[in-house]
Amino acid sequence: MALEVGIVGLPNVGKSTIFNALTAAGALAANYPFATIEPNVGIVAVPDARLATIREFIKSEKILPATVRLVDIAGIVKGASTGEGLGNKFLSHIREVDAILHVVRCFEGGEVIHVQDSVDPIRDIETIDTELALADLETVLSSLDKSERLARTGDKVAIIRAEVLRKAKAHLNENKPVRELVLNPDEQAEMKSLGLITAKKVLYVANVAEDDLHGTGPLVQKVRDRAKAEGGVVVPVCGKLEAELSELGEEDRKEMLSTMGLEEPALATLSREAYRLLGLQSYFTAGPKEIRAWTIHVGNTGPQAAGVIHTDFEKGFIRAEIYSLEDLKQYKTEAAIKAAGKMRSEGKAYVMKDGDIAHFLFNV
């Protein structure tokens, strides 16, 4: 399931530092605007403690966590929507991703100079939001006339499209993202086909100093207030610390985290939140070869989940045998789970739950 999350923000806010730490990609980007021109793409593991718990009861050669594709998009500057700083090229990269991680600088000082010579996270968010809204407005205006002409001929799809474009135009003219629009199912489908940037879900990443790892400072609070008003989420991340942690071996990393009073890197939280942002969840398969987290959309049925393993599994789906991690912890083995009547047999209409442990029966 090749869904992608794009990292966006102004130049020099720490996007590439965080991207490199997430993907353990190595050297940090140079300290100047547009250090990233072509987007770097990385595969990021989604840490999930449930996998190790399953392995306590089902011995296996390896564990395979779920992953998210992450795209590092170059810094966007004021005027990007009109081509400033290769803006059009960068904006086209954002159109191709499924959701956005918006990195905002929430620390003073340091070696890296802010492009506007001062730190103001709300101003920075509004700069990016304005450029994305202007880019969307251009897309909407270029499609509206044609859609309205077609709508006048009675074309049903064009009528819906024209109405969606008019709503989007009014919203964008007020510098509001179109994801806030309340649309009926037909309009939602049409909105999706437009590929508007501000229709995408956003998660704010507050890049914090080492003395504010939990993001309790006033700069992060401003971002939290902003995100709360939008129904969004903020994850505080110290890019500098995460970059150092990503270069350490497992034991040294644990020791460094322990000395700082942390249980895990902030990037673990970030990757899980990015997974949720995309509307994804995991189910597990477990056997002697591997214990694996499989990625599915929230709301997927048993056959759709089986199809993630192999398309033949979906076509020939008979039923799924399902149990929970709580069942495994209580009864210790799959045989004991079956004997206790806790192994459920689910048919084609079953909607998968996050954390289901499954065996699929199919006929090809």
Q: What is the pLDDT of residues 118-173, one digit of tens each?
A: 889 999 999 999 988 998 999 999 999 999 999 999 999 999 999 999 999 999 99
Nearest to 40 by CA among 52, 54, 26, 56: 26
Q: Report the alpha-carbon distance of residue 235 to residue 272 in Å, rounded.
A: 11
The mean predicted confidence, pLDDT, of the chain is 88
Give me 262's structure tokens.
């942390």
Domains of the chain: residue spans and CATH: 4-277 (3.40.50.300), 299-362 (3.10.20.30)
Backbone phi and psi for residue 58, each to the nearest 5 degrees, phi listed first: -120, 105
Q: Report the alpha-carbon distance of residue 153 to residue 147 in Å, rounded.
A: 10
Q: Report the alpha-carbon distance of residue 90 to residue 100 in Å, rounded.
A: 13
Q: Alpha-carbon dihedral of residues 47, 53, 54, 56, nearest 10 degrees?
A: 130
Find residue 179's DSSP bridge partners.
none
The residue-averaged pLDDT of 68-82 equals 72
Q: What is the pLDDT of residue 103?
A: 94
pLDDT tens per residue across span 218-276: 999 999 999 999 888 999 999 989 989 988 888 999 999 999 888 888 988 998 999 99
Backbone phi and psi for residue 333, each to the nearest 5 degrees, phi listed first: -135, 160
Q: Which residue has the tokens 């904006």?
A: 91
In this prediction, residue 357 has a pLDDT band, given cuts at 50, 70 and 90, of very high
- Give the predicted TM-score (pTM) of the model: 0.84
Task: Check if the beta carbon of residue 303 is closer than 8 Å to that of residue 333.
Answer: no
Q: Report the alpha-carbon distance of residue 133 to residue 15 in Å, rounded.
A: 21
Rounded to whole angstroms, what are the CA distances from 263 to 238, 245, 253, 258?
15, 13, 10, 7
The sign one gets for the Cα dihedral 184, 185, 188, 189 is: negative
In this prediction, residue 28 has a pLDDT band, given cuts at 50, 70 and 90, of very low
pLDDT tens per residue across span 179-217: 999 999 999 999 989 989 999 999 999 999 999 999 999
Q: What is the pLDDT of residue 328?
A: 98
Q: What is the pLDDT of residue 319?
A: 97
Question: Where is pLDDT greater, at 109 or 17?
Answer: 17
Q: What is the pLDDT of residue 77?
A: 63
Burial 249-281 (b: 16+ CB within 10 A, else e): eeeebeeebeeeebeebbbbebbbbbbbbbebb
The residue-averaged pLDDT of 317-329 equals 97
pLDDT tens per residue across span 43-71: 888 889 999 999 999 999 999 999 888 88
The residue-averaged pLDDT of 81-90 equals 53
Question: Where is pLDDT greater, at 284 or 249?
Answer: 284
Q: What is the pLDDT of residue 124?
A: 92
CA 318 to chain centre: 32
